[in-house]
């Protein structure tokens, strides 16, 4: 590190060993020492094979034999944080100073110089991470039963540093291929500093519709469009299984092309200024190719604030006008949507 506050990977890798990185992220305790190696289940994809993940301490490298690959301390941080090289350098700098790399209160130098590639294309994370579906945020705040959360692969985990202190959700592309996970931050101080949601660096959010692969078979019968995965889960729990989420308040061309092929759409975005503006713009964009209805929720309300009975009644009230071919085009039950 020089007197201008910049640093290089070569300097950082001399100052920070791979066991320091593992300790900083709370991963060292799960690995067993065997000579110059550490072995254990892979903390990156949450696997159960006790020998899949190996660390060579003297060489400063790691490898997962279940498919995560391997590399040095920089690549390890990139995989833990789902970040690019520049961000990995910042995390290394925190560790070198004895700071918690996951702390939102850590001050990061703004003048950073790295000597390697500082950006990379998004790489899908195909592995499944076991999640605990019983999360107070989901059950008490969003009304999502543990059984529903489990079916949608949502919950908490301590196996991934990237998802720590979040309610995680598994994401897929429109064709149903797994892309990885995002996390809804649970700590108020993290939300205030970084926002509610954490997505992997470079994640192609505009190219997916949450739950599209599950709703595809029923697209011809009508689709409910919401902003957030929690609303999709609550609708499914109530019996409305044909719902997708934009993951925000904008609609991309890819999303529009998928929605254009639905026989009817019910837009049920959040009851705030952003949600109402988005609903108007989306309605105008899609009205020429499909039937579109907009339901405006009360100010400050989200779909998941409604009871199951209210959600069903609301969707049923639009069904007959939206689709002449079915009396309840937007409804469909799933055997896992009831109970806790």
- Locate 49 and state its tokens: 């094979």
pLDDT at 321: 65
The Cα-based distances of 13 to 29, 93, 191 in angstroms read 22, 10, 31
Q: Give pLDDT tens digits for 170-185.
A: 999 999 999 999 999 9
Percentage of residues of the chain with pLDDT beyond 70: 85
Prediction pTM value: 0.71
H-assigned helices in the chain: 9-15, 18-24, 73-81, 85-96, 136, 146-151, 188-194, 212-215, 229-238, 253-260, 273-286, 308-322
What residue ranges of the chain have pLDDT lower than 50? 1-6, 104-119, 324-328, 333-340
Q: Give pLDDT tens digits for 258-268.
A: 999 998 999 99
- How many residues comprise the chain? 340
pLDDT at 202: 85
- CB hemisphere CA count around 105 (13 angstroms): 5
Helical axes 273-286 vs 253-260, angle rounded to 10°: 60
Percentage of residues of the chain with pLDDT beyond 90: 49
pLDDT at 194: 86
Q: Any idea what DSSP says for residue 141?
A: I
pLDDT at 113: 40
**Domains, the chain, with CATH or none:** 9-96 (3.90.580.10), 136-207 (no CATH), 212-322 (3.40.1360.10)
In three-state secondary structure terms, 137 is helix
């Amino acid at each position: 590190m020089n007197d201008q506050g910049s640093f290089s990977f070569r300097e950082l890798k001399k100052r920070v060993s791979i066991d320091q990185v593992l300790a900083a992220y709370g991963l060292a305790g799960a690995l067993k020492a065997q000579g110059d190696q550490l072995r254990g289940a892979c903390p990156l994809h949450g696997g159960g094979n006790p020998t899949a993940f190996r660390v060579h301490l003297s060489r400063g490298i790691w490898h997962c034999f279940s498919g995560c690959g391997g590399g040095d301390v920089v690549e390890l941080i990139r995989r833990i944080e789902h970040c690019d090289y520049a961000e990995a350098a910042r995390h290394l700098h925190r560790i070198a100073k004895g700071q918690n790399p996951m702390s939102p209160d850590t001050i990061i130098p703004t003048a950073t110089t790295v000597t390697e590639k500082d950006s990379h294309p998004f790489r899908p994370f195909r592995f499944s991470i076991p999640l605990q579906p019983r999360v107070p945020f989901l059950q008490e705040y969003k009304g999502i039963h543990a059984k529903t959360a489990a079916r949608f692969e949502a919950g908490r985990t301590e196996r991934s540093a990237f998802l720590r202190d979040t309610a995680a959700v598994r994401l897929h592309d429109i064709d149903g291929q797994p892309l990885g996970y995002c996390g809804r931050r649970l700590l108020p101080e993290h939300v205030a500093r970084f926002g509610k949601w954490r997505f992997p660096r470079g994640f192609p959010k505009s190219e997916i519709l949450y739950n599209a692969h599950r709703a595809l078979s029923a697209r011809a019968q009508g689709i409910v469009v919401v902003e957030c995965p929690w609303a999709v889960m609550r609708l499914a729990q109530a019996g409305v299984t044909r719902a997708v989420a934009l993951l925000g308040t904008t609609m991309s061309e890819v999303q529009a092309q998928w929605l254009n092929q639905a026989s009817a759409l019910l837009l049920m975005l959040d009851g705030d200024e952003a949600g109402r503006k988005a609903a108007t713009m989306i309605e105008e964009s899609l009205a020429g190719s499909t039937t579109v209805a907009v339901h405006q929720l009360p100010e400050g309300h989200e779909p998941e604030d409604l009871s199951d009975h209210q959600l069903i009644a609301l969707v049923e009230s639009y069904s007959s006008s939206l689709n002449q071919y079915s009396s309840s085009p937007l409804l469909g039950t799933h055997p896992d949507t009831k109970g806790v």
